[in-house]
A = this chain, B = another copy of it.
Amino acid sequence: MFQPVKRKACGAKKINQPLTGNDFPLPAGFPSFMKLPIATSTEGLDACFVGVPMDNGTGYKPGARFAPREMRAESAIIRPCNPDTGAQPFTSLSVADIGDVPVNLFNVAKSCENIRESFNKIVKDGCVPLVMGGDHTITYPILQALGKKYGPLGVIYVDAHSDCAVSVAGERLTHSTSLRRAIEENFVDCKRVVQIGQRGTRVNVDPYQYEKDLGFRMIPAVDCWYKSLAPLMVEIREQMGTGPVYMSFCIDALDPAYAPGTGFPEIGGLTTIQAMEIIRGCKGLNMVGFEMDEVTPVYDSSGVTSATAGKLLYEMLCVVPSVKYAEK
């Protein structure tokens, strides 16, 4: 009765619109992402927001299971257009929030299975998922599903960590090992991988040998200090070419000043300006999915980490391939 559903004519069809404060009071309503319509399948959708509220792959501070709920809540103030870039995602894309994947919070292995199966359905018709994690374990089953659909994927991995450990405390399914699992199963096109933002201490002094041997481009945080990353993205676009690309963005890539609400903060990280440059720099790539992980709301008293994650998800939406841009 009370939450309007807004759709705008777009050629022959009417496409979903987010609600703004002019449409419905900002604090009110079921908090779907941007108060977009809620969908029960990806049928007819070009892109979808979807939560994966799992955090039992976390070795230290848990709580990312509540990240989708908070990102949705804080997304209430995001409006449809992007004046900085000219993107108008809701003039051409049909987008909805399809809710959360039924993760298993007691059993990591089963949770991964549930996620993989859910994503098999989500991507089967080419819908581009914008994933609200969850801890970073989820990248593994998501890449299984996307890799099965699209073949080995280019990956833009923005994270304070590289998540290519063989195991942690003897476990092979954790938030520190997920990318390695996906690589081992050949869902990753290793020449088309870039890792940006790695930093902090490690168990050995040359920690990225495995990644480098595979051909990853490594851009540790120290190489990002004091610079715009727009020039880097020119090179990354070249590296990625025309093949399918997945972006996995761990909120701890950001400096803790910008994202205090996460479980493994590392100082000397990226700024939100750099984060936007990275995402905006993906315009033109064949992006097939996006993921935002490790937001931990209970350590985020002001809500800024969830709000920031939500805004970056919106920026990701703006570089889904068929989005229309205004002339600048």
Find out whether the CB atom of B2 lies under 8 angstroms from the CB atom of A202: no
**Interface bin, chain A:** 35 or more
* A70 CB to nearest chain B CB (Å): 9
Contact yes or no, B59 A62, CB < 8 A: no
A-B residue pairs, 6 tightest by C-beta:
A260-B302, A28-B100, A79-B201, A62-B62, A267-B272, A81-B205
Task: Give the copy number.
Answer: 6
Which one of B60, B106, B326 contacts A168 once the chains associate, using CB atoms below 8 Å? B106
CA distance A47 to B2 in the complex (A): 16
- Closest B residue to A307 by beta carbon equals B265
Provide the residues of chain B in CB contact with A20, threshold 8 Å. 203
| Chain B residues, CB < 8 A from A3 | 40, 99-100
Is A199 engaged at the interface, CB distance under 8 Å to the other chain?
Answer: yes
Are A53 and B30 closer than 8 Å at their CB atoms? no
A102 close to B28 (CB less than 8 A): yes
Proximity string of chain A (39-61) to chain B, C-beta cutoff 8 Å, 1 when within and 0 when not: 11110000000110101111111
Among A84, A103, A303, the one with the most B-chain Cβ atoms within 10 Å of its Cβ is A84
Bound-state Cα–Cα, A76 to B29, Å? 17
Report the nearest B residue to A262, measured CB to CB: B302
Residues of B within 8 A of A206 (CB): 83, 326
Asked if A169 and B25 make an inter-chain contact with CB atoms under 8 angstroms apart, the answer reads yes
Contacts of A197 in B (CB 8 A): none
